[in-house]
């Protein structure tokens, strides 16, 4: 579950279900470190204490759990800064270090020694030093305030506490205070970031990505989704850019590997950096996601990856350069597509509406509650229905022009029209350089494909939500005649006069009086997009001005009604989750057991990408040459658990009751998608790589025993 910047920018909406409320169920939850002590550790079967995991005074295992700047989790696994994370989390680094002659994604990489480790370009590691729930401190003195006065008091308290913490924080660390759940929680995070990260060992594509997109979010699974990196520092231990003079990072804590194996119902737990959940949202948010947002995102991401894949098919250099983006888009496409199907499957909107009705009745039954919460449910309903009246059109227009940079020519035209600004000579000169930079790597075929996608989507908008500027241009023709007219119009954009940076900059003045009907169609369409953006922005601003306060009141009421422990929504900060090794029933008459093996991988082998198992792995299986990592005639490969995770948890360690790493989280199952909205214990599963397979591949297949020898390994037979 690769959490790229693209994905994190997409609107995520969510829900709480009455049958699986986080206020009542300890089985579900991405708990903040400071909440771990409130969980029933002994009853659950933990062999360690809560403070062994997170200790505000330092020394807990949480200090070994880190985040990577590309949106993944990871863990420190040796005293010399060795990092274990997912293959798909190391993917960008492998791509950037590749050439047409040597594709490191395809071949894998073994540094051979520390001297051979290569820079993971653009990567950084962040260590969480301390997490504190500062809700009471931030809300102190705000009890009777509302509106602007409340916002000002919250800001004052936040700024004062931030300044005080910065003054006493160690050099090199950062302090930030984040609001969660519309102000229900405030958490303080003290972190340190290290910028020199290097690639140590990565398996080849047909291990690290075995099964490819067909197996993504599926169980059963046979993917060795792991990569080893290493963090380096300046000789004094401080963060430093990549340099040959740097030395391996010395962590305060690192994890122990346990190769003793697992069995069904074993207790396991996760600590990582889950991305985004909004599990306390209302039914109108779910409806927006199910009916409009998620279906569009699936189609849009499909168009993006299909276009890049077509271009890369005829150009090896571009195929290598594009493969990381394609993998990310494919992953997100399947997540959103599966997400809205699961929302429909569980009748998410109706379930939430029932919860809202119950809450409204509970408020109305008591005068004190009426005074405190008023008509919060009805108020959210009115505001949401006004805002979402044209939701199918809105989800399209809020991503047009395409924010991925696929259409630089139209984006520059749109930007100029929206700015409506006359520039002087110096400003135009600077703007010209900016536009040239934007055009430098443009792909006309990609821009053409994406403009075709958006214009076709505009044609498919429902009655009452049509986009007038598109209808004015193409509404008089239908079907293939409209596609032809759209293609001709697109050609005037992509390869017309504005494909020249100088012509685009001319839109900032001086203006010409020359009339050109082709140009006027382009500019009129861009003007229509800009006007629609203003209208959408105004509605959004009105919604935003009221919804935060309403949602805070709603959550206060909901949690008071239910009682119990409430965990904050995930926001890519450190979180704890626990569960058990457990299979599930995926559909009628179909049961899924919780373990897969190397033997099962070879059963899937077709010899054709993405199911082309390496010959050496097959030879090792046939010879029974498993070293200390085998059991029952094979090597454990993947397994599933009921732990509650989300995108961003990729690369998180899965640990046993003793706090020893037994697996590496890398995905969730298809039946569990929609888990940014809700958690279903019956179906939601975390998919992990068995740590035995990680070490087996590294040592026996990859010839990188030097990496394994750095780690502390317990359990299993002696080597």
3-state helix, strand, coil in the chain (%, to 5): 50, 15, 35
Does residue 495 carry a pLDDT above 50? yes
Residue 52: per-residue pLDDT: 98
Q: Per-residue pLDDT for 343 more than 60?
A: yes
Shortest CA distance to 582 belongs to which of 491, 506, 687, 484? 687
What average pLDDT does the segment 89-105 reach?
A: 96
Quote the tokens at residue 11: 């609107």
Question: What is the pLDDT at residue 5?
Answer: 33
Question: Quick one: pLDDT at residue 513?
Answer: 60
Q: Give the pLDDT confidence of 446-474 residue by residue, as tens digits.
A: 999 999 999 999 999 999 999 999 999 99
- Residue 31 bridge partners (DSSP): 576
With 0-12 CB in 10 A as exposed, 13-18 as middle and 19+ as buried, what is 432? middle
Which DSSP category does 548 fall into? Answer: H
Beta bridge partners of 576: 31, 271
Cα angle 594, 596, 601 (rounded to 5 degrees) comes to: 155
In whole angstroms, give the CA distance from residue 69 to residue 192: 12
Residue 276 — φ and ψ, nearest 5°?
-130, 125
Query: pLDDT (tens digit, 9 = 90+) per residue, 546-559?
Result: 999 999 999 999 99
- With b for 16 or more beta-carbon neighbours within 10 A and e for fewer, the 2-17 pattern comes to bbbebbeebebbbbbb
Residue 43 pLDDT exceeds 50: yes
Q: Which runs of consecutive H residues, i.e. helices, occur in 202-259?
A: 205-208, 212-215
Peptide bond into 401 cis (omega under 30): yes
Token representation of residue 7 = 């994905």
Determine if the pTM surpasses 0.85.
yes
Strand-pair category, 227-233 with 82-85 = antiparallel
Between β-strands 247-248 and 173-180, what pairing exists: parallel, antiparallel or unpaired?
Answer: unpaired
Rounded CA-CA distance 202/107 in Å is: 9
Specify the pLDDT at position 562: 87
Angstrom distance (rounded) from CA 694 to CA 708:
10
Q: Looking at residues 264-291, what average pLDDT do you find? A: 95
* Strand, coil or helix: 243: coil
pLDDT score for 674: 87
Distance, in Å, from the CA atom of 159 to the CA atom of 154, rounded to the nearest integer, reads 9
Q: What residues does 298 pair with on adjacent strands?
A: none
Question: Higher pLDDT residue, 565 or 398?
Answer: 398
Cβ(579)–Cβ(46) under 8 Å?
A: no
Q: Of the candidates 78, 102, 88, which has an alpha carbon nearest to the alpha carbon of residue 4?
A: 88
Structural contact between residues 526 and 413, judged by C-beta atoms closer than 8 angstroms: yes
Neighbours of 596 (CB within 10 A): 24
- Strands 713-714, 257-258: pairing is parallel
What are 268's strand-pairing partners? 579
Q: State pLDDT tens for residues 196-228.
A: 999 999 999 999 999 999 999 999 999 999 999
Distance CA 597, CA 464 (A): 54
């Amino acid at each position: 579950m690769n959490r790229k910047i693209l994905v994190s920018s997409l609107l995520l909406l969510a829900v709480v279900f009455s049958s699986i409320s986080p206020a009542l169920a300890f089985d579900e939850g991405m708990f903040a470190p400071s909440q771990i002590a409130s969980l029933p550790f002994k009853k659950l079967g933990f062999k360690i204490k809560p403070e062994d995991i997170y200790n505000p005074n330092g020394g807990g295992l949480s200090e070994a759990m880190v985040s990577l700047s590309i949106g993944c989790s990871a863990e420190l696994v040796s005293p010399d800064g060795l990092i274990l994370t997912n293959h798909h989390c190391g993917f960008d680094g492998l791509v950037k270090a590749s050439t047409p002659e040597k594709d490191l994604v395809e071949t894998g990489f073994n540094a051979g020694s520390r001297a051979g480790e290569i820079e993971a370009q653009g990567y950084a590691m962040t260590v969480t030093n301390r997490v504190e729930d500062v809700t009471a401190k931030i809300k102190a003195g705000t009890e009777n305030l509302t509106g602007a006065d409340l916002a000002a008091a919250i800001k004052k308290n936040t700024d004062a506490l931030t300044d005080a913490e910065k003054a006493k924080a160690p050099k090199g660390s950062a302090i930030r205070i984040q609001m969660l759940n519309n102000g229900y929680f405030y958490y303080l995070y003290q972190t340190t970031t290290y910028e020199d990260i290097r690639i140590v060992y990565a398996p080849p594509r047909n291990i690290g990505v075995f099964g490819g997109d067909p197996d993504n979010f599926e169980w059963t699974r046979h993917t060795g989704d792991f990569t080893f990196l290493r963090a380096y520092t300046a000789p004094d231990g401080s963060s430093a850019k990549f340099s040959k003079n740097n030395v391996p990072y010395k962590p305060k804590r690192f994890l122990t590997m346990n190769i003793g194996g697992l069995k069904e119902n074993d207790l396991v737990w996760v600590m990582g950096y889950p991305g985004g959940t909004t599990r306390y949202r209302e039914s109108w948010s779910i409806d927006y996601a199910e009916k409009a947002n998620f279906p569009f995102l699936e189609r849009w991401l499909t168009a993006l990856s299909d276009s890049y894949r077509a271009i890369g098919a005829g150009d090896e250099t571009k195929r290598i350069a594009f493969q990381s983006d394609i993998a990310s888009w494919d992953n997100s496409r399947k997540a959103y597509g599966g997400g809205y199907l699961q929302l429909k499957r569980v009748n998410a909107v109706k379930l939430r509406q029932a919860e809202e009705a119950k809450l409204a009745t509970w408020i109305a039954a008591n005068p004190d509650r009426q005074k405190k919460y008023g008509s919060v449910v009805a108020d959210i309903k009115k505001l949401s229905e006004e805002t979402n009246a044209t939701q199918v059109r809105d989800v399209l227009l809020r991503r047009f022009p395409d924010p991925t940079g696929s259409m630089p020519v139209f984006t520059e035209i749109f930007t100029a029209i929206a700015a409506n600004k006359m520039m002087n000579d110096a400003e135009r000169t600077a703007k010209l350089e900016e536009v040239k930079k934007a055009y430098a790597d443009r792909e006309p075929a990609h821009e053409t494909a994406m403009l075709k996608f958006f214009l076709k989507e505009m044609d498919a908008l429902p009655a009452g939500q049509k986009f007038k500027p598109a209808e004015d241009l193409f509404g008089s023709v239908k079907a293939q005649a409209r596609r032809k007219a759209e293609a001709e119009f697109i050609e005037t954009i992509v390869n017309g006069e504005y494909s020249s940076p100088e012509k685009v900059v001319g839109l900032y003045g001086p203006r010409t009086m020359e009339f050109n009907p082709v140009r006027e169609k382009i500019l009129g369409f861009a003007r229509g997009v800009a006007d629609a953006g203003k209208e959408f922005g105004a509605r959004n601003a009105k919604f935003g001005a009221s919804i935060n306060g309403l949602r805070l009141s709603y959550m206060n009421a909901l949690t008071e009604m239910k009682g119990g422990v409430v965990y904050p929504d995930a926001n890519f900060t450190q979180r704890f989750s626990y569960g058990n090794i457990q299979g599930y029933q995926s559909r009628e008459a179909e049961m899924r057991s919780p373990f897969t093996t190397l033997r099962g991988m070879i059963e899937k082998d077709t010899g054709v990408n993405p199911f082309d198992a390496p010959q050496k792995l097959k030879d090792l299986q046939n010879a029974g040459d498993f070293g200390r990592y085998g059991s029952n005639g094979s090597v454990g490969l993947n397994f599933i658990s009921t732990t509650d995770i989300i995108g961003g948890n990729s690369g998180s360690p899965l640990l046993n009751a003793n706090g020893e790493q037994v697996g590496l989280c890398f995905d969730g199952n298809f039946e569990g998608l929609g888990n940014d909205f809700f958690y279903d214990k019956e179906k939601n599963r975390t998919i992990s790589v068995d740590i035995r397979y990680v070490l087996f591949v590294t040592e026996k297949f990859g010839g990188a025993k030097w990496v394994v020898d750095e780690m502390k390994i317990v359990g299993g037979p002696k080597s």
